[in-house]
Amino acid sequence: PSLLTFNEVTTLFHEFGHALHGMLANTNYSSLSGTSVSWDFVELPSQILENWCYEKEALELFAKHYKTGEVLPMKYIEKIKESASFHEGMQTLRQLSFGLLDMKWHGTNPEEIETIKAFENSAFTHTKLYPDVPENCMSTAFSHIFQGGYAAGYYSYKWAEVLDADAFEYFLEKGIFNKEVATKFKEHILSMGGTEKPMELYKRFRGKEPKPDALLRRAGLI
């Protein structure tokens, strides 16, 4: 049998989210369908699906022993849920640091930069917890923001988490398999592609603008 690790399962759900975004698109032009949306909105359909991998109701449907059919024991499900917030404080600071560095690179006159190291240190002023390591230089390895398609857009990773956490909290409130909420997500998010402004679509689905509180709760930070 082809057995999957937990990381492979979450990746499968993630990519299936992208697939649904394309398959359920109801637009007149292919250039506006599926993932052809604003760059900081494209990961919402994929990242929100990963949430089901951490829920008991969902895991009981497929996380079973391949020979006996025994459902994954609750103690392991709890460990999976706990692992989702492991070191999340440091991970959050790391991603915020990268986003700030990216925006600083693309909002500064190059002639004003004396040394890359000093430039980085100024970008990390609000997120640095530990003393600086002189040998470290993030920018020289930060391919995302120079030729990786995320120039002045690396923040979209964390913003997508804000969106998916807030959206999934709606499912948690109503039930993770609630048909009404799922239909609203399909009609206002998945089927609309890039035909309207992302925030308008999101508010139509959720009834309000997203707040970071849901993400902070999921991360165990509040």
Report residue 217's pLDDT band, with 50, 70 and 90 as the boundaries: very high
Task: Give per-residue pLDDT as tens, 43-71.
Answer: 999 999 999 999 999 999 999 999 999 99
Contact 117, 137 (CB under 8 A): yes
Q: What is the pLDDT of residues 93-129, one digit of tens each?
A: 999 999 999 999 999 999 999 999 999 999 999 999 9
pLDDT at 1 over 80: no
Cβ atoms of residues 35 and 47 within 8 Å: no
Q: What does the pLDDT read at residue 140?
A: 87
Instruction: Kindly state the average pLDDT of the residues 13-17.
Output: 97
pLDDT computed for residue 103 by the predictor: 96
Interval 183-214: pLDDT, tens: 999 999 999 999 999 999 999 999 999 999 99
Which residues belong to the active site? Answer: 15
pLDDT interval class at 75 (50, 70, 90):
very high
Residue with tokens 């980085």: 120
204's CB contacts (< 8 A; 6+ apart) are 184, 188
Residue among 57, 37, 54 at smallest CA distance from 45: 37
Among candidates 46, 44, 19, which has minimal Cα distance to 33?
Answer: 19
125-180: pLDDT as tens digits: 999 998 888 888 889 888 888 877 889 999 999 999 999 999 999 999 999 999 99
pTM of this structure? 0.90
For residues 26-37, give the mean pLDDT.
Answer: 93
